[in-house]
Amino acid sequence: MGARRIVILVSVLAVMAAALVVSAQRRGAVHPGEVTAPALMTSRADLMKKAPMVDAPGVYKIWETEHTPQLSSELIQVYGTVPMHFHPDGSHRLYMIEGEVDMVIGDRTMHMRPGDYMMIPRGVRHKVTVTSQTPALAGSVAVPPFDPARTVWIEPRPAMAPAEERPATQPRR
């Protein structure tokens, strides 16, 4: 390829690149790899008006806020003690919003207060007991998502509300 053809090719590529940048800037993206997409916003008040994904009356409720193949996020409210169990398909990441709990993780007990964060690895047994006068509320992210139906209960599983009172969950892997 001659030098003149190389100069023309480089010039054409530069013009195409500039056109792509201008097009991206018009869409709001200004850096390579940046995209524009809608954010997810769910208010706690609106979320808690919906039927929970999991409902063990008097024990705990879970409202799912997002579900993708990579992760799920939930709002978890605990009223009493969630018996010892584990999830074979996903790890928990919990952030305490309200209330206080004792978390038994394996053979260790840890106390959580608002603002505390905890990661529970996939397959590790855990138990939650509310220690405050009010229910505990936590944000949870599971990576990858776990299927509540696959939860392994080491202690007796709490009674669940009838399925017809809960919304259908999104398809699970």
Give the CA distances from residue 40 to residues 7, 68, 96, 167, in Å, rounded to whole numbers and listed in that order: 46, 13, 20, 20
Give the CA distances from residue 78 to residues 31, 35, 57, 101, 114, in Å, rounded to whole numbers and listed in that order: 43, 38, 10, 9, 14
AA identity, residue 167: P
Q: How far apart are CA 13 and CA 21, in angstroms?
A: 12
Residue ranges of domains in the chain: 1-37, 44-165
* Lowest-pLDDT range of 52-61, 86-95, 117-126, 131-140: 52-61
In Å, how far from its chain's centre is CA 83? 21
Give the CA distances from residue 45 to residues 7, 31, 65, 77, 115, in Å, rounded to whole numbers and listed in that order: 61, 36, 12, 13, 20
Q: How far apart are CA 62 and CA 167, in angstroms?
A: 11
32 confidence band (pLDDT: 50, 70, 90): confident
Please give the pLDDT value at position 166: 42
The 10s digit of each residue's pLDDT in 135-168 is 999 999 999 998 888 999 999 998 888 754 444 4
pLDDT higher for 162 or 95?
95
Percent of all residues in the chain with a pLDDT value above 90, rounded to a whole number: 40
Q: Does 3.40.50.2000 match the CATH number of domain 44-165?
A: no
User: Can you say whether residue 65 is alpha, beta or left, with left for phi > 0 and alpha for psi between -120 and 50 degrees?
Assistant: alpha
Please give the pLDDT value at position 167: 46
Surface-to-core class of residue 159, CB atoms within 10 Å of its CB (0-12 exposed, 13-18 middle, 19+ buried):
exposed
Please give the pLDDT value at position 137: 94
